Amino acid sequence: MSTEASLLQRRRPLTAAELGVIPWLKVLLPDERERAVEDLKITDAKAGDFICRTGRPVTYWFGLVDGLLKMSADNVDGQTMTFTGVPPGGWFGEGTALKREAYRYNIQALRKSMVAGLHIDTFHWLLDHSIGFNRFVMRQLNERLGQFIAAREIDRMGNPNIRVARSLAALFNPVLYPGLGTVLRITQQELAYLVGLSRQRVNEALTTLAAEGAIAVEYGGLRVLNLQALRTGMF
């Protein structure tokens, strides 16, 4: 049985608490919200499960309610390139959904995660009927463009400390990941997967960032103390 089939079989309607953390529902009019809520489903993904896979047709627009995902692709040499992580609160794949094309990347769960999905047909219905939803998606696309430009810059950085700092700053983007706050539950190994460095080198970078007052390492995660310092590398 494929991962996609298992995720589909485990889907269910969202609880009131789960609906409460979906940011774009707040911009919908009552009839728009009613249609969206009727269609929304959520499923539990296990560590290693693929939510989206390269070449598969788009059927849902996805968002992460709880857990941690990574976006990646394999190059012609079979090497995996990680583009970014997706923390709780993030919705992704709107560009693919808009064009109704096949995925050009993989989305994989790094740990047990709760993933919500809005069917592609309802996604397009909201685009056709909701000004608020259109504005939300446009803002997402604009912010996503900036995110991927920054990701290209990060890939070219030789300083591991700055690479980790900039990667962390991307995970605390208030537009793409609203509601995350200042604390991210993430292990050093998970961060290493996202940054493309060894766990040991990530540990050294986190120690440096903590000593400079940019972050505080806590049990099971980290707290951002100076987001601007992480973004600029000035620490």
Between residues 117 and 3, which one has the greater pLDDT?
117
Label residue 153 by pLDDT band (50, 70, 90).
low
Residue owning tokens 């000035």 = 234
Residue 156 is predicted with a pLDDT of 65
In a shared domain, residues 85 and 200 = no
pLDDT of amino acid 69 = 95
Same domain, 179 and 110: no
pLDDT at 1 over 60: no
Q: Are residues 131 and 210 in the same domain?
A: no
**What is the count of structural domains for the chain?**
2
- Do 51 and 142 belong to one domain? yes
Same-domain pairing of 108 and 172: no
pLDDT of residue 14: 96
pLDDT tier for residue 8 given thresholds of 50, 70 and 90: confident
Task: Calculate the CA 18 to chain-centre distance.
Answer: 17
Which tokens in the block code for residue 110?
A: 């790094």
Task: Say what the pLDDT of residue 235 is.
Answer: 63
List, in order, residues 6 or more apart from 21 with CB less than 8 Å away: 65, 88, 89, 179
* pLDDT for 176 beyond 80: yes
Range of the domain at 39: 3-150
Asked if residue 190 and residue 140 are part of one domain, the reply reads no
CATH number of residue 76's parent domain: 2.60.120.10
pLDDT of residue 144: 84
CB 64 within 8 A of CB 107: no
Domain edge (last residue) among 150, 182, 203: 150
Residue-level pLDDT at 72: 87
Q: Are both 12 and 99 inside the same structural domain?
A: yes
Q: What is the CA radius of gyration of the chain?
A: 18
Q: Which of 45-49, 192-196, 209-213 has the lowest mean pLDDT?
A: 192-196
CATH code: domain of residue 208: 1.10.10.10
**What does the pLDDT average to over 58-75?**
92
pLDDT given for residue 154 in this prediction: 64
- pTM, 2 dp: 0.87
- Per residue in 121-152, pLDDT (tens digit) is 999 999 999 999 999 999 999 888 877 776 66
Single residue among 126, 150, 174 that ends a domain in this structure: 150
- Average pLDDT of the residues in 85-92: 93
Question: Is the per-residue pLDDT at 207 higher than 80?
Answer: yes
Which string of DSSP letters, residue by residue, matches 111-178? SSEEEEEEEHHHHHHHHHH-HHHHHHHHHHHHHHHHHHHHHHHHHT---HHHHHHHHHHHHT-TTTST
User: Looking at the structure, do residues 86 and 8 belong to the same domain, yes or no?
Assistant: yes
User: Is 178 found in the same domain as 108?
Assistant: no
- Say if residue 127 is in the same domain as residue 177: no
126 to 12, 35, 39: CA distances (angstroms): 21, 9, 12
Do residues 124 and 179 both lie within one domain? Answer: no
Q: Residue 63 above 90 pLDDT?
A: yes
Higher pLDDT: 174 or 118? It is 118
- Spell 175-214 as b/e; 16+ CB within 10 A means b: ebbbebeeebbbbbebbbbbbbbeeebbbebbebbeeeeb
Residues 109 and 164 in one domain: no
